[in-house]
Chains A and B, each alone.
Chain A
Amino acid sequence: DGGITQSPKYLFRKEGQNVTLSCEQNLNHDAMYWYRQDPGQGLRLIYYSQIVNDFQKGDIAEGYSVSREKKESFPLTVTSAQKNPTAFYLCASSIGQGNNEQFFGPGTRLTVL
């Protein structure tokens, strides 16, 4: 049963702490993406990766970091430098070439206390 998994569903952290959000896919997709959704706003791109060991900053990369050591995994670290980390985070993947859609995971709701 192919798909994208994100864990945990809900995450709480204290201000000043780093936290890592997990994203795994078994769709054999080359490209993976991280988005952030805030109320009244669309999905804003944080980072994306088109192949293993390579990634690029999106529109709002400040305060975040990623790695892409394996094709299946694209973890996102929210650092203490991110000023407004409370949000709904979505991971997605796509084949990566040509016209094709992105498949999304269920999301992680991060709340900073």
Chain B
Amino acid sequence: DQQVKQNSPSLSVQEGRISILNCDYTNSMFDYFLWYKKYPAEGPTFLISISSIKDKNEDGRFTVFLNKSAKHLSLHIVPSQPGDSAVYFCAASDTSGTYKYIFGTGTRLKVLA
């Protein structure tokens, strides 16, 4: 039972345009969400997070939106750069319990120069 889903395995975007990566979750107890970026054969690096008390969090070119009623979050990258080409994972946690994080299957973003 996949509690965190990234339904698009890949996405291609032109340099300078907006990249939108989507993530859906099923567990209404999740209250903290994170996005990670991963290059091949490396560990993921943290990008941005959002708590369920907010619906938007922005950090430079990266913005995460949370729609609790739809159990959906998205990561916007504007403008997209070739160095953004990587696999992006969303993760969710129920911080009232154990400190477990459930990860999605990832979306491979390719930014075309």
Residues of A within 8 A of B41 (CB): 88, 107, 109
A101 at interface by CB-CB < 8 Å:
yes
Find out whether the CB atom of A99 lies under 8 angstroms from the CB atom of B32: yes
Find out whether the CB atom of B99 lies under 8 angstroms from the CB atom of A107: no
Q: Interface residue count for B (Cβ, 8 Å)?
A: 28
For residue A41, which residue of chain B has the nearest CB?
B105
Of B14-22, B42-50, B60-68, which binds chain A? B42-50
Q: Answer whether A107 and B43 are a contact pair too, CB < 8 Å, given A42-B105, A99-B49.
A: yes
B1-33 contacts to A, CB under 8 A, are 4, 6, 9, 31-32
Provide the bound-state CA to CA distance between A33 and B36, in Å.
Answer: 16
Instruction: Among A40, A42, A103, A107, point to the contact of B4 (Cβ < 8 A).
Output: A42
For residue A91, which residue of chain B has the nearest CB?
B43
Report A84-106 CB contacts with B as 1/0, cut-off 8 Å: 00001010101011110111111
Q: Answer whether A99 and B89 are a contact pair too, CB < 8 Å, given A48-B100, A90-B44.
A: no
Report B90-101 CB contacts with A as 1/0, cut-off 8 Å: 010101001111
Residues of B within 8 A of A45 (CB): 100-102
Find out whether the CB atom of B49 lies under 8 angstroms from the CB atom of A101: yes
A81 at interface by CB-CB < 8 Å:
no
Provide the bound-state CA to CA distance between A101 and B41, in Å.
Answer: 20
Provide the bound-state CA to CA distance between A90 and B40, in Å.
Answer: 12
5 pairs, CB–CB < 8 Å, chain A vs chain B: A97-B99, A98-B95, A99-B32, A99-B93, A106-B43
- A residues within 8 Å of B by Cβ? 4, 6, 31, 33, 35, 40-45, 48, 50, 56, 58, 88, 90, 92, 94, 96-99, 101-107, 109
Q: What 6 A-B pairs come out closest when comparing CB atoms? A: A104-B43, A42-B103, A43-B103, A42-B105, A101-B46, A99-B32
